[in-house]
């Protein structure tokens, strides 16, 4: 019994030792978070001193280092051109590590340049490394105590670099720092420049709600300075922003200002489209205030009338179709029918045979609602003639005619 126990214990010890040995020989998992290559601190032959030496370079040392780094950039570009992306970024990373010895601005500009290449090459790790380094530089720059000490060119470069790594939030943070300073400096030209940059960033990322107050301020500045061209541009931007964010009242405010400007400048070609948009917004608001339907009717009619006068028959047809739909939604069948008959003429002027066919179908449906079957039959027959020419929807019109014929009209 004792011998058996000794054997069991010995076996257990051997098994345990074998497990320990196996675990010790087990390969280590790969490093899931490899070090940022931009933070490597090993010595470099191009450096006159070790990286840990924080003394600034002398003018002579800078004059030697700068062309050497430019040469590294060219070498990396040649590697990329030859298809060796790995080697290219190894060289660029070396260049970027050394650029910091030329100052933050030079480093950020180089980071921005390489970031654009990394993004285009879909090199996510490289983009991440550069973003981390940019954030480190930003943190250091934020340690400045007063706005007078802030390097505006550095912050502008940070903003552009963040755009190149597709980090809009960080880019806006950088540009807001610049905006704060130029406001305090009372530099209106710079304020407008930075506001436009921030607004474009928001729009490029479809962040319309954040873009709105930016363009409202730009509009206010342009209006106060009598800059009519810029005023129109910002109004157009705001009109699109408020349409995208489904804010009909704000959209109306902007569109009505635009319409007033165009009328004063006798620029009637823009009026039909504007009036269509204005009418559509009134129609949306009328869901809560039915009295606004009158404004919707009025603006659809003005859109149609102006387009007709300008001989823009396609636009006139669009306006009339909107007006017909509104008539029908309000149960005004007679008015919808009269407008539909005018629509046929407009589509004929535009040589839009498909539009004519649809108009005849609409007329037929309206006559059916009024139970005026002979007139409905005539409309569907005219629609069929056009359908046969177009070789489109012939079966539909034939079916409508057969239904009416079976009713013993």
- Please report the pLDDT score of residue 146 as a whole number: 58
Cα distances (Å, whole numbers) of residue 199 to 88, 239, 298: 35, 14, 34
In 20-102, DSSP assigns E strands to none
Q: How many helices (H) and strands (E) does the chain have?
A: 18, 0
- pLDDT tens digits for 155-199? 999 999 999 999 999 999 999 999 999 999 999 999 999 999 999
- pLDDT tens digits for 366-398? 999 999 999 999 999 999 999 999 999 999 999
- Please report the pLDDT score of residue 53 as a whole number: 56
- Please report the pLDDT score of residue 132 as a whole number: 96
- Please report the pLDDT score of residue 21 as a whole number: 40
Q: Does residue 11 have a pLDDT over 60? A: no
Closest CA to 323 of 248, 371, 369, 272: 272
Grade residue 405 by pLDDT with cuts at 50, 70 and 90. Answer: confident
Measured distance CA(392)–CA(353) in Å, rounded: 11
Contacts of 221 (CB under 8 A, 6+ apart): 188, 191, 192, 195
DSSP codes joined into one string, 353-372: HHHHHHHHHHHHHHHHHTT-
Classify residue 315 by burial, with Cβ atoms within 10 Å: 0-12, 13-18, 19+: buried
DSSP codes joined into one string, 213-251: HHHHHHHHHHHHTT-HHHHHHHHHHHHHHHHHTT-HHHH
More confident residue, 259 or 17: 259
- Please report the pLDDT score of residue 24 as a whole number: 44
Q: Does residue 56 have a pLDDT over 90? A: no
Q: Are 97 and 44 in contact (CB under 8 A)?
A: yes
| The token pair that represents 214 in the structure block | 């930016």
| The token pair that represents 63 in the structure block | 């004059």
Measured distance CA(108)–CA(134) in Å, rounded: 7
- pLDDT tens digits for 264-318? 999 999 999 999 999 999 999 999 999 999 999 999 999 999 999 999 999 999 9
Average of per-residue pLDDT values in the chain: 89
Grade residue 147 by pLDDT with cuts at 50, 70 and 90. Answer: low
Contacts of 307 (CB under 8 A, 6+ apart): 272, 313, 315, 316, 318, 319
Measured distance CA(102)–CA(152) in Å, rounded: 17
- Please report the pLDDT score of residue 41 as a whole number: 82
**CB atoms < 10 A from the CB of 272, how many?**
24
Measured distance CA(209)–CA(202) in Å, rounded: 9
Measured distance CA(115)–CA(161) in Å, rounded: 7
Q: Does residue 104 have a pLDDT over 80? A: yes
- How much is the average pLDDT of 56-69? 91
- Please report the pLDDT score of residue 57 as a whole number: 86
Measured distance CA(320)–CA(357) in Å, rounded: 15
- Please report the pLDDT score of residue 47 as a whole number: 84
pTM (two decimals): 0.82
In the chain, what is the greatest distance between 2 CA atoms, to the nearest angstrom?
A: 116
- Please report the pLDDT score of residue 246 as a whole number: 95
Grade residue 22 by pLDDT with cuts at 50, 70 and 90. Answer: very low
- pLDDT tens digits for 211-226? 999 999 999 999 999 9
- Please report the pLDDT score of residue 58 as a whole number: 87
Measured distance CA(21)–CA(375) in Å, rounded: 97
- pLDDT tens digits for 228-271? 999 999 999 999 999 999 999 999 999 999 999 999 999 999 99
Q: Are 60 and 76 in contact (CB under 8 A)?
A: no
- pLDDT tens digits for 343-372? 999 999 999 999 999 999 999 999 999 999
Cα distances (Å, whole numbers) of residue 321 to 106, 252, 288, 310: 60, 21, 23, 18
Measured distance CA(240)–CA(16) in Å, rounded: 72
């Amino acid at each position: 019994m004792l011998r058996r126990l000794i054997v069991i214990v010995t076996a257990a010890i051997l098994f345990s030792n074998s497990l320990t040995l196996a675990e010790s020989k087990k390969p280590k998992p790969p490093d899931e978070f490899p070090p940022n290559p931009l933070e490597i601190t090993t010595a470099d032959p191009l450096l006159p001193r070790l990286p840990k030496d924080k003394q600034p370079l002398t003018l002579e040392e800078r004059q030697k280092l700068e062309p050497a780094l430019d040469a590294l950039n060219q070498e990396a570009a040649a590697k990329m051109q030859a298809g060796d992306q790995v080697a290219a970024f190894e060289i660029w990373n070396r260049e970027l590590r050394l650029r910091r010895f030329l100052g933050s601005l030079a480093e950020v500009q180089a980071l921005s340049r390489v970031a654009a290449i990394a993004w285009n090459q879909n090199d996510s790790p490289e983009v991440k490394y550069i973003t981390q380094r940019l954030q480190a530089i930003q943190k250091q720059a934020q340690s400045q105590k007063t706005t007078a000490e802030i390097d505006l060119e550095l912050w502008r470069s940070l903003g552009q670099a963040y755009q190149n790594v597709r980090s809009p939030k960080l880019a806006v943070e950088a540009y807001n720092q610049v905006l704060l300073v130029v406001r305090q400096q009372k530099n209106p030209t710079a304020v407008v420049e930075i506001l436009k940059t921030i607004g474009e960033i928001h729009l490029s990322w479809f962040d319309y709600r954040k873009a709105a107050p930016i363009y409202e301020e730009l509009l206010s500045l342009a209006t106060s300075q009598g800059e009519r061209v810029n005023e129109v541009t910002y109004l157009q931007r705001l009109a699109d922003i408020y349409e995208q964010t489904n804010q009909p009242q704000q959209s109306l405010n902007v569109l009505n200002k635009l319409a007033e400007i165009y009328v004063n400048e006798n620029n009637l070609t823009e009026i039909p489209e504007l009036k269509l948009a204005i009418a559509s917004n009134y129609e949306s608001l009328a869901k809560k205030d039915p009295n606004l339907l009158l404004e919707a009717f009025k603006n659809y009619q003005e859109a149609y009338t102006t387009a007709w006068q300008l001989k823009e028959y396609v636009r006139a047809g669009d306006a009339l179709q909107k007006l017909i739909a509104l008539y029908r939604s309000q149960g005004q069948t007679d008015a919808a029918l009269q407008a539909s008959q005018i629509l046929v003429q407009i589509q004929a002027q535009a040589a839009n045979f498909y539009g004519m066919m649809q108009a005849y179908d609409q007329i037929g449906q309206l006559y059916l609602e009024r139970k005026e079957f002979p007139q409905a039959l005539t409309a569907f027959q005219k629609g069929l003639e056009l359908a046969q020419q177009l070789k489109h929807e012939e079966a539909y019109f034939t079916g409508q005619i057969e239904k009416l014929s079976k009713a013993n009209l």
